[in-house]
Amino acid sequence: MKKHYYLKKHSVNPNKQKGATLFTALMILIALTIVGISSTRMSILDIKVSKNDEQQMMLYQEAENALKKITKPIKLYEWIEARRADSSAHGIDDINTAHLKAKTNITNLNTEYACVGKGGAVSIGPEVPFCGLYDFHIDINKKGTGSRDIHHRGAGKEMPHNGGSF
């Protein structure tokens, strides 16, 4: 049998492929590392955004709660009495705790109208209660976070008669 020297000279040596395989594997690992690092950074950013959103929503709820409290007729009456004693009085129930700081303000819009009482019927006469229009304002922020919220609510409130009672 005759040996084929031609095939031995031009045959592919399997040892030469090891470097190319190693290089390809390293490129794939580098690509996976870059993708992993960028996805980690994006997830950290998502966590920060969701935390800020959570703080803003909690602050919104606190502001709505405080606004609901100051629009009660008894609080308005307290404010009216404070204004009679000191005409520069603006706010009531300002909040200053370890976590929250809020400034409240009530503005009399100096508009009066005959308002419907609890019974739903209104008549014209001297005993008909009148309503005054007011703007209730709260400016609230959460200490240490930079979260801030401002709420306004306009409302017509029944005013006391000249005798001082509702």
Compute the mean pLDDT over every residue in the chain, rounded to the nearest whole number.
77
Q: In 3-state terms, what secondary structure has residue 44?
A: helix
Can you state the angle between helices 73-85 and 17-70, rounded to 10 degrees? 70
Question: Are 157 and 80 within 8 A, CB to CB?
Answer: no
Residue in 24, 155, 3, 2 with CA at minimum distance from that of residue 79: 155
pLDDT tens by residue, 145-162: 888 888 888 887 777 655
Has residue 8 got a pLDDT over 80?
A: no
pTM, to two decimals: 0.58
In a domain, 115, yes or no: yes
Instruction: Flag whether 147 is in a domain.
Output: yes
Provide the CB-side half-sphere exposure for 20 (13 A, CA): 5
Strand order in the sheet with 100-114: 95-96, 100-114, 130-142, 148-158
Q: Which domain holds residue 58?
A: 37-157
Is 6 part of a structural domain of the chain? no
State the pLDDT at residue 130: 76
What is the number of structural domains in the chain? 1
Residue 112: inside a domain:
yes
Provide the 3-class DSSP secondary structure of residue 63: helix
Q: Is residue 117 part of a domain?
A: yes
Most confident of 38-47, 125-134, 142-151: 38-47
- Rounded to the nearest angstrom, the gap between the alpha carbon of residue 17 and the centroid of all alpha carbons in its chain is 60
Whether the per-residue pLDDT at 62 is higher than 80: the answer is yes
